[in-house]
């Protein structure tokens, strides 16, 4: 009788210990958000939108790089005039960087129309615009001169640059964290301060961001 009782006790203890060990090994299930809960979605890049069943959600935050990063520095490309232009030549004034190629039939045209709007608004106020071609094989200085004339680009204020494609792609990747070439059209302007540091990136198709870009330029000019 005592032996049977001991065996039963051992079995009970073994079952209890087994259940405890199993609970430690089994991952805890966490309930996901309900249909009415708001969820933060960092995957939505500023200026881009995702669609839900009800309506699109747009992230209108301006992209700002880490303050200690010296982005877009120490580069040298060739301007449509045939002269070399380096990042050091641009120091002392705020400037707006964009990427394009001259045979682009749609986005680049709209983008340059926005730059023309900025050029007219900030004429003779010490702001420059730097348009970098992602198709340097086609966009020679001579071709860029013809292309720039289509938009009434001021030779001193609005620069059109070309150069080594590999290096231009590297600049695009470092700034935008995505490839920049003829197959991909970024819709962001990069605002650089007079010290050569990135102030922010603005999606020009978004009216609010475009206006915020103008305000940021004004703020920089007030400080100079």
What pLDDT sits at residue 20?
54
pLDDT in tens, 25-37: 444 443 443 333 3
Residues of the chain above pLDDT 70, percent: 65
Q: Please, are residues 135 and 173 in contact by the beta-carbon 8 Å criterion?
A: no
pTM flag (> 0.95)? no
Tell me if 212 sits within 8 A of 204, measured CB to CB.
Answer: no
Which domains occur in the chain, in start order?
76-223 (3.40.30.10)
User: What's the pLDDT at 176?
Assistant: 67
pLDDT at 191 over 70: yes
Q: Which residues have C-beta within 8 Å of that of residue 192, sequence separation ≥ 6?
A: 72, 90, 94, 95, 96, 97, 198, 199
Which pair of structure tokens corresponds to residue 180?
């920049």
Instruction: Count CB atoms within 10 A of the CB of residue 167.
Output: 13
Between residues 33 and 13, which one has the greater pLDDT? 13
| Mean pLDDT calculated for residue range 52-65 | 47
Position 198 pLDDT exceeds 50? yes
Which tens digits make up the pLDDT trace of 93-149? Answer: 999 999 999 999 889 999 999 999 999 999 999 999 999 999 999 999 999 999 999
**Would you say residue 59 has pLDDT above 80?**
no
**Comparison of pLDDT for 187 and 45, the residue scoring more:** 187
40: pLDDT confidence band, cut at 50, 70 and 90? very low
Residue 183 has a pLDDT of 72
Crossing angle of the two packed helices 107-121 and 207-223, in degrees rounded to 10: 40
Coil/strand/helix, residue 59? coil
Q: Consult the annotation and say whether 185 binds a ligand.
A: yes
Report the C-alpha gap between 65 and 72 in whole angstroms: 11
Whether the CB-CB separation of 72 and 199 falls below 8 Å is answered with no
Helix or strand or coil: residue 100? strand
User: What is the DSSP-derived secondary structure letter of residue 62?
Assistant: P
Residue 193 has pLDDT above 50, yes or no: yes
Q: What pLDDT is recorded for position 173? A: 82
Pairing of strands 128-133, 56-58: unpaired
* pLDDT exceeds cutoff 60 at 43: no
Q: Is 207 annotated as a binding residue?
A: no
Q: What is the average pLDDT value for the chain, to the nearest integer?
A: 78
* 27 Cβ neighbours under 8 A, 6+ residues apart: none
Yes or no: say if 220 and 94 are a contact pair by the CB < 8 Å rule. yes
pLDDT above 90: residue 211: yes
Residue 216 confidence (pLDDT) above 60 = yes
Strand partners, 184: 181
Q: Is 214 annotated as a binding residue?
A: no
State the Cα angle at 222 between 72 and 198, rounded to 5°: 15
For residues 189 and 24, which has the higher predicted lDDT (pLDDT)?
189
């Amino acid at each position: 009788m005592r032996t049977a009782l001991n065996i039963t006790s051992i079995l009970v203890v073994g079952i209890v210990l087994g259940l405890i060990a199993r609970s430690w090994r089994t991952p805890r299930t966490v309930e996901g958000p309900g249909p009415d809960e708001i969820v933060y979605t960092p995957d939505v890049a500023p200026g881009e939108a995702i669609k839900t069943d009800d309506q699109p959600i747009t992230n209108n935050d301006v992209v700002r790089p880490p303050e200690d990063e010296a982005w877009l520095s120490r580069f040298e490309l060739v301007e449509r005039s045939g002269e070399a232009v380096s990042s050091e030549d641009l120091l002392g004034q705020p400037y707006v960087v964009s990427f394009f190629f001259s045979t682009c039939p749609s986005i680049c045209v709209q983008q340059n129309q926005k730059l023309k709007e900025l050029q007219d608004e900030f004429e003779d106020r010490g702001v420059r615009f730097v348009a970098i071609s992602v198709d340097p094989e086609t966009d020679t200085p001579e071709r860029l001169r013809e292309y720039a004339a289509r938009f009434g680009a001021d030779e001193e204020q609005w620069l059109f640059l070309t150069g080594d494609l590999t290096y231009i792609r590297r600049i695009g990747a470092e700034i935008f964290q995505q490839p920049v070439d003829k197959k991909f059209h970024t819709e962001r302007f990069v605002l650089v301060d007079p010290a050569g540091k990135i102030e922010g990136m603005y999606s020009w198709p978004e009216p609010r961001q475009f206006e915020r870009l103008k305000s940021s330029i004004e703020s920089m000019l007030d400080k100079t």
